[in-house]
């Protein structure tokens, strides 16, 4: 990278030097051209005023001494005198541009190649009182020679500028690349790196990305360890019971009991695998997710009806309150969210307890509340209950059949819908509050219904692509 940046700076320096030389040369040429034309104008006026060519038979001026060429042209364009050539051998000059201009307006000038001398010339012509035209000329090579005399100076200047440019390119490249190299070598102490203030936002972004990568790596490692542990426990039980049955060491009564344990652990294993697969789908799903207008209260009502038998088996009263409230959401995910929260409240409740479910619309948001009178969650655990495989009481989780992923799935679903989920708890009650954008707010923010669906699909994929992780009870 350093060589590439240095090369780019050198190319910029060389380009700047070349452009400077070209522009300087062109400006110098224009200045010299103006000076030569001014000199020719002065010579012509002096010759006119002194009457050096008033009498063509007695010309008193030697133009060659001044490095000039003087020509006198009659009104008909014939050449009467030329200091550098035989006038009788010269072509008619009536159509020469400087001559035409002088005859018409009194004076004319041009730069062109002389057909007589076959050289590039500066010409200035002025009309005399007798109608003839006096023309003074100078070779343009003289100007070019003056410019060429300055070329060694310009070349030396170019070399010096190139050397200075190369040095500054090296120093500037080093100053730019050095912080980047420091960042590459020490990602954990980016804040201590001294750089230009313009690079500070870049370093901040890199630091955040590094922290996110490290955090995700730690979470993946922890997730892998948790998955291994959670899978190993039921598999060990299944293997042990089946081995006892296979060896014939188990009695008929034990076989029935062992088979029940195997069946129970197998179901637990299947539930765990299904939850892991579900989380993976939410993390990296590329499938098209359909969002539609849903009445969250009506969906909660169906969920409560479905779980009434389960609630009665746990001696828990399950009730719903509220009114219709509409959201733009995925039906399957909303059903999963409701079931996880309500089932969790039932399983972790006390005998004779209650679970109160409510759905209300507040301003531009829909609020879902699931409150139980269960065992409660201490404050030190409340921040971690959404972590994957996190359980407040592992022994109780095994009794209730929990996998430790239900709340992680719930939080992932809520965040994919642009909402938020909070847990409030004390010693004898727990409340989960889910806040989702209402249908009206979503439509105002995102446009038409089709646009809403498209946007939500993209948002879902974007979060999944970033691998954002949330975890559970």
Write out pLDDT tens, residues 392-444.
Answer: 554 444 444 556 677 888 888 898 888 999 988 877 788 899 999 987 655 55
Asked whether residue 112 falls in the same domain as residue 60, the answer is yes
In this structure, what token pair is assigned to residue 401? 């059949």
Contact predicate 123/71, CB 8 Å: no
> Quick check: 56 and 80 in contact, CB under 8 A?
yes
DSSP characters over 411-443: HHHHHHTT-EEEEEE-SS-EEEEEEEE-HHHHH
pLDDT tier at 294, thresholds 50, 70, 90: very high
Residue 321, number of CB atoms within 10 A of its CB: 12
- Two structure tokens written together for 121: 């010339």
Rounded Cα distance between 240 and 81, Å, is 129
In a domain, 127, yes or no: yes
**Mean pLDDT over residues 311-339, rounded?**
92
Q: Where are the alpha helices (DSSP H) in 2-119?
A: 2-50, 97-105
How many domains would you assign to the chain?
A: 3
Domain boundary among 243, 261, 284: 284
Strand 120-127 and strand 133-139: pairing? antiparallel
Q: Residue with structure tokens 């995910």?
A: 333
β-strands 420-425, 430-437: how paired?
A: antiparallel
Is the residue at 59 inside a domain? Answer: yes
Task: Count CB neighbours of 472 within 10 A.
Answer: 26
Residue 369 included in any domain: yes
In-domain check, residue 23: yes
**228/68: higher pLDDT:** 68
pLDDT of residue 320: 95
Which helix or strand (DSSP H or E) is residue 461 part of? helix 449-465
Mean pLDDT of all residues in 329-345: 90
Among 90-94, 230-234, 312-316, 353-357, whose mean pLDDT is lowest?
A: 230-234
Q: Are residues 100 and 87 located together in one domain of the fold?
A: yes
Residues 123 and 224 in one domain: no
Structural domain ending residue among the three candidates 269, 284, 299: 284
Residue whose pair of structure tokens reads 């912080």 in the numeric block: 179
Distance of alpha carbon 296 from the chain centroid: 38
Q: Tell whether 111 and 66 lie within a shared domain.
A: yes
Residue 316's pLDDT is 93
Task: Return the DSSP state at 87.
Answer: G
Average pLDDT rounded to a whole number, residues 94-107: 90
Considering the domain architecture, whether residues 296 and 357 belong to the same structural domain is answered as yes
Alpha-carbon distance values, 195 to 6, 151, 182 (Å) = 18, 42, 10
Check which CATH number belongs to the domain holding 219 and give it.
Answer: 1.10.287.130
| Contact yes or no for 366/359 (Cβ under 8 A) | yes
Residue 423: per-residue pLDDT: 87
Domain-embedded: residue 134: yes
Q: 133-139 and 420-425: which strand pairing?
A: unpaired
Give the length of the chain.
473
125-134 burial by CB neighbour count: b if 16+ within 10 A, else e? bbbbeeebbb
One domain, residues 391 and 295: yes
316 and 400 co-located in one domain? yes
| 267 & 348 share domain | no
Count of C-beta atoms within a 10 Å radius of residue 366: 27
- pLDDT over threshold 80, residue 309: yes
- CATH number, domain of 116, equals 3.30.450.20
Give the Cβ contact number of residue 429 at 10 Å.
Answer: 18
> Same domain, yes or no, for 385 and 266?
no
Which 3 state secondary structure label does DSSP give 107? strand
Q: Are 276 and 372 in the same domain?
A: no
User: Are β-strands 69-73 and 133-139 bridged in parallel, bridged antiparallel, or unpaired?
Assistant: antiparallel
Both 241 and 382 in one domain: the answer is: no
Specify if 185 maps to a domain: no
- With 0-12 / 13-18 / 19 or more C-beta atoms within 10 angstroms meaning exposed / middle / buried, residue 85 is middle
User: CB–CB of 275/403 below 8 Å?
Assistant: yes
Residue 134 in tokens = 């006096």
Evaluate whether residue 158 is within a structural domain.
no
DSSP string, 123-169: EEEEE-TTS-EEEEEEEHHHHHHHHHHTHHHHHHHHHHHHHHHHHHH
pLDDT for residue 291 is more than 70: yes
Average of per-residue pLDDT across 3-7: 68
Q: Are residues 308 and 231 in the same domain?
A: no
The Cα–Cα gap between 213 and 219 comes to 10
Domain of 24? 2-148
36 located within any domain: yes
What pLDDT, on a 0 to 100 scale, did the predictor assign at position 326? 93
13-22, 161-170, 204-213, 273-282: least confident range: 273-282
Q: What is the CATH number of the domain that holds 436?
A: 3.30.565.10
Query: Taking 70 as the threshold, does the pLDDT of residue 33 lie above it?
Result: yes
Counts for the chain of helices (H) and strands (E), in that order? 14, 12
Domain end position, chosen among 266, 284, 302: 284
DSSP readout, 290-356?
P-EEEEHHHHHHHHHHHTHHHHHHTTEEEEEEE---EEEE-HHHHHHHHHHHHHHHHHTSPTTEEEE
Q: Which pLDDT score is estimated for 397?
A: 47
User: Do residues 122 and 113 make contact, with C-beta atoms less than 8 angstroms apart?
Assistant: no
């Amino acid at each position: 990278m350093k060589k590439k940046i240095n090369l780019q700076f050198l190319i910029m320096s060389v380009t700047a030097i070349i452009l400077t030389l070209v522009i300087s040369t062109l400006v110098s040429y224009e200045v010299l051209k103006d000076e030569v034309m001014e000199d020719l104008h002065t010579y012509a006026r002096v010759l006119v005023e002194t009457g050096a060519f008033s009498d063509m038979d007695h010309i008193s001026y030697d133009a060659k001494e001044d490095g000039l060429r003087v020509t006198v042209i009659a009104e008909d364009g014939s050449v009467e005198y030329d200091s550098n050539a035989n006038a009788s051998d010269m072509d008619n000059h009536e159509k020469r541009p400087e001559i035409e201009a002088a005859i018409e307006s009194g004076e004319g000038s041009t730069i062109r190649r002389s057909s007589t001398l076959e050289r590039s010339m500066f010409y200035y012509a002025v009309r005399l009182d007798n109608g003839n035209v006096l023309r003074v000329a100078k070779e343009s090579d003289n100007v070019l020679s003056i410019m060429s005399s300055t070329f060694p100076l310009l070349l030396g200047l170019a070399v010096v500028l190139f050397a200075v440019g190369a040095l500054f390119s090296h120093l500037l490249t080093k100053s730019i690349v050095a912080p980047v190299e420091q960042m590459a070598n020490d990602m954990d102490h980016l804040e201590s790196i001294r750089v230009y203030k313009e690079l500070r936002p870049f370093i901040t972004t890199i630091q955040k990305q590094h922290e996110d990568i490290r955090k995700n790596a730690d979470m993946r490692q922890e997730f892998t360890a948790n998955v291994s542990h959670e899978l190993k426990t039921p598999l060990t039980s299944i293997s042990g019971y089946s081995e006892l049955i296979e060896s014939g060491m188990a009695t008929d009564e034990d076989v029935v009991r062992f088979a029940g344990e195997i069946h129970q652990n197998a179901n637990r294993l299947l539930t765990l695998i299904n939850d892991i697969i579900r989380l993976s789908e939410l993390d990296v799903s590329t499938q098209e997710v359909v969002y539609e207008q849903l009445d969250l209260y009506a969906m909660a009502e169906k969920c409560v009806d479905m779980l009434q038998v389960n609630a009665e088996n746990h001696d828990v009263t399950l009730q719903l309150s509220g009114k219709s409230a509409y959201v733009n959401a995925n039906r399957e995910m909303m059903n999963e969210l409701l079931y996880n929260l309500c089932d969790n409240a039932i399983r972790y409740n006390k005998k004779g307890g209650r679970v109160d479910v409510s759905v209300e619309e507040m301003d531009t948001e829909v609020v879902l509340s699931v409150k139980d009178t269960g065992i409660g969650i201490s404050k030190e655990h409340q921040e971690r209950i959404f972590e994957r495989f996190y359980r407040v009481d592992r022994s109780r989780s095994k009794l209730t059949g929990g996998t430790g992923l239900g709340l992680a799935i719930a939080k992932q679903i809520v965040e994919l819908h642009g909402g938020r989920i909070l847990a409030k708890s004390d010693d004898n009650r727990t409340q989960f509050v889910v806040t989702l954008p209402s249908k009206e707010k979503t439509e105002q923010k995102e446009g038409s219904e089709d646009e809403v669906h498209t946007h939500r699909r993209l948002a879902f994929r974007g979060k999944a692509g970033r691998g954002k992780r949330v975890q559970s009870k």
